[in-house]
Chain A
């Protein structure tokens, strides 16, 4: 009796062990990717924070040309070791040290110009032109945002500080940003992220107003925070550490925690609720992805007509005129969100703009002035009002 039971029990255990793996695999294979599996997923309730409304938002593209020669920029990245290399080590101005590609450092660069910034930016940039890789290739991204309150009063904000001291100073003067900064007319600087082309022109802003309230993502690296200090900043630095930060009625900063190429972490983008029109999204580079921002805004914010009205800024799709099939997923899917106006530029890429236009999206064209290479999208000096 016992002898008979033992093999039976052993066989049962062998079968059970085998069946356990088989049953689990069966569930995994037959159920996991089925419509039934997805029908049981609960819908996430929208939280829809009420952040007020504004009457209109006008954006002036001070500079969207972050660099002028794509081959030089990508060539430098390539020579330095690719897209994961620390931006401060590439040896770009203003952190060049004359030692060649990938041999740069924040310390070497800042030591060479610290005494000159922000007072003598011409000398600082001239110094760096002798030390850095392709210094004349540097441009920058920056835009002026004018928010009109419901009562008609206007408030100005600067999104990003660009890159080249020379180029940004010229661009600021072209759009009278220098005067607006000096007079305190611009209420705050919002640094979207730490990338060279959005942040390294910070001393140019300091040249005109080194006390301007400044917002920065809490993912800035040590070098970035030090650069703010070394540039002579004496104002109120607001480190954004929450997902949603109201700036003023109808204007919200949204923080995204995303790792980004050339060792940068996190981006802050802006959302505006335009009275009777809907939501407008403005970004520096939108490294989180425009539809990621859109879906976050859909979940987290309350806005008029519950519709997306417009978008402005870099959408970081094909910044180096590169491509990936996932970008086509975006081109195919963007239409579902039904934006009325798409004011893209900068790292969106000309190829993406071309594909948007072919897909019938309402891309706002530009005038291709001030070294913007194509009228496919809003260029330097162009404006858009939402």
Chain B
């Protein structure tokens, strides 16, 4: 009988094989996922629907924390307390229902129990809507402010929690058994998230209130001069880019290139900080790209001309790419796979960017027709991250909890396949040679040329292309 606490996690131990040949698994799953997305969107989020959580911050908080809980359950706890035998034998539909229900229950417990009741009653008042109401705020904004704070915490955790698994390889607790390992990593990443929250978001929350809460937070915040705004959206930008890059690194990049580092501590440290560096590059580019397309931001304006919105839109744009990345990885079989890893990585990056760009354009052209939202880029209460993360959550339920049912099924990996998985963590398929060095230089020059070509073309795109009429 198989037991828990095995050396290989459940997600690593299984191989998903297509139930039908050709594109049918992807087609069927895509249709089902979009159907499920729309049904659940209508029930939970849609402003015309049943529960109408898209207030917006309540719905925003819920979809983000669901994402975290899915990551915790699948990646950090390796599905503990569920036994591997049950995971291997239960019907995917049953698993999907049970694991999602457990995640939702844990999310509610965390939001209500920890953030509102403990943190909001014994630490920081703005986490508890009742306290804000008692101080004279309307019930609506009391709930919105508290939800915003809880949501921002989730944004940070959505980067740090998976990063500890993907980049740091669970070190130094990788040999602990479950649930000790899971609890330890959750506590550590939660603690780190709390520190990052205090350094990045607390000042944002503190200036929501009049007068600025200068005795409990740094106001005006230290990033004001650099980011050209006092809004914490500046941090949302780079933190969301970190979240996206973690999954890019884990999925379509197959942990390349940091997995070439053979020394454990150096590989893990390089991965962790490398993800941040890549994210910062992406963040600054996406902000600059908006300035090139729409004109330089003007502080104090609203909507798409305002720096705070542009920083937010950096994160939103990054999440559109994540949709493309995960779709390619989950339903496109991480195509292509036949070339060397660096070439595969480059091609997948380009393909996923194309998918992300297509999703971005389709979203802004059509979302107002079916999501209960309005057309336009910068409605102050509309956050495209809500539907995109909602969709990503459904991807995760389907692929992590349901083994890709109905298009795919899970089978145990062979010993060779498990070794291949291990080779992704520490790889040796690319070795230093003079030719590699020449290629690196030539590629870097070409990459820089592509970058400058793109920023040269962007103003022209801004003048000639209209996505939202």
Interface of A with B (CB < 8 Å)?
7-29, 31-33, 37-38, 41-42, 44, 70-71, 74-75, 77-78, 80-86, 89, 102, 257-261, 263, 265, 287-289, 291-292, 295, 320-326, 328-334, 336, 351, 354-355
Contact = CB atoms under 8 A, between A and B. Distances in A.
Given A18-B342, A263-B374, A292-B302, 9 more contacts: A23-B449, A26-B448, A33-B284, A82-B52, A260-B379, A326-B231, A326-B233, A329-B299, A330-B301
A259 B341 CA distance: 45
B384 to A, nearest CB: 12
A15 B440 contact: yes
- Residue among B55, B343, B439 facing the most chain A CB atoms (10 A cut-off): B439
Contacts of A26: 281, 444, 447-448, 451
A75 B142 CA distance: 11
B446 A16 contact: yes
A78 B300 contact: no
A74 B138 contact: yes
A94 B345 CA distance: 59
Contacts of B450: 20, 23-24
6 A-B pairs with the lowest CB-CB distances in the bound complex, closest first = A15-B439, A19-B443, A23-B447, A81-B52, A333-B300, A289-B302
Interface stretch (B19-27, B106-114, B303-311): B303-311
18 contacts: A16-B439, A18-B257, A18-B440, A19-B447, A26-B447, A27-B452, A32-B281, A32-B287, A37-B455, A78-B138, A81-B52, A82-B52, A82-B54, A85-B48, A325-B204, A330-B302, A333-B298, A354-B210
A258 B303 contact: yes
Given A10-B340, A11-B439, A324-B231, A81 B55 contact: yes
A351 B138 CA distance: 14
Contacts of A17: 340, 342-343, 345-346, 439, 443
Nearest to A30: B281
B447 A21 contact: yes
Contacts of B281: 25-26, 28-29, 32
Nearest to B227: A33
B332 interface: no
B52 A74 contact: no
A329 B303 CA distance: 12
A325 B439 contact: no
A374 B125 CA distance: 29
Contacts of B449: 23
B301 A291 contact: yes
Contact of B299 (A10, A323, A333, A354): A333
B47 interface: yes
Contacts of A81: 47, 52, 54-55
Given A17-B342, A78-B143, A329 B300 contact: yes
A41 B374 contact: no
A69 B201 CA distance: 32
B277 to A, nearest CB: 7
Interface stretch (B181-189, B289-297, B404-412): B289-297
Contact of A22 (B58, B232, B295, B440): B440
B302 A326 contact: yes
Given A16-B442, A29-B277, A85-B52, A351 B307 contact: no
B461 interface: no
Contact of B208 (A291, A324, A329, A333): A324
Interface in B355-402: 368, 372-376, 378-382
B444 to A, nearest CB: 3
Interface stretch (B68-76, B157-165, B167-175, B429-437): B429-437
Nearest to B292: A41
Main secondary structure of the interface of B (DSSP, over half): helix
Nearest to A334: B300
B346 A21 contact: yes
B431 to A, nearest CB: 8
A28 B281 CA distance: 5
Contacts of B379: 258-261
B457 interface: no
A75 B433 contact: no
A235 to B, nearest CB: 29
Contact of A12 (B292, B436, B459): B436
A292 B231 contact: no
B368 to A, nearest CB: 8
Which size bracket describes the interface of B in this complex?
35 or more
Contact of A20 (B287, B302, B309, B346): B346
- Residue among A7, A19, A292, A334 facing the most chain B CB atoms (10 A cut-off): A19
Given A12-B439, A21-B349, A37 B288 contact: yes
A257 B368 CA distance: 15
B208 A323 contact: yes
A80 B56 CA distance: 12
Contact of A289 (B230, B278, B303, B437): B303
Contacts of B284: 28-29, 32-33
Contacts of A289: 300-303, 305-306
Contacts of B298: 291-292, 295, 333
B138 A323 contact: no
B402 to A, nearest CB: 30
A169 to B, nearest CB: 29
B282 interface: yes
B231 A329 contact: yes
Given A15-B435, A325-B229, A21 B345 contact: yes
B288 A84 contact: no
A38 B230 CA distance: 21
Contact of A24 (B138, B280, B343, B451): B451
Given A14-B343, A17-B443, A320 B141 contact: yes
Contact of B451 (A31, A325, A334): A31
Nearest to B55: A82
A326 B306 contact: yes
B300 A83 contact: no
Contacts of B119: none
B338 interface: no
B420 interface: no
B256 to A, nearest CB: 8
Contact of B229 (A10, A28, A287, A329): A329
Given A18-B440, A82-B55, A333-B300, A322 B342 contact: no
Contacts of B340: 10, 13-14, 17
B345 to A, nearest CB: 7
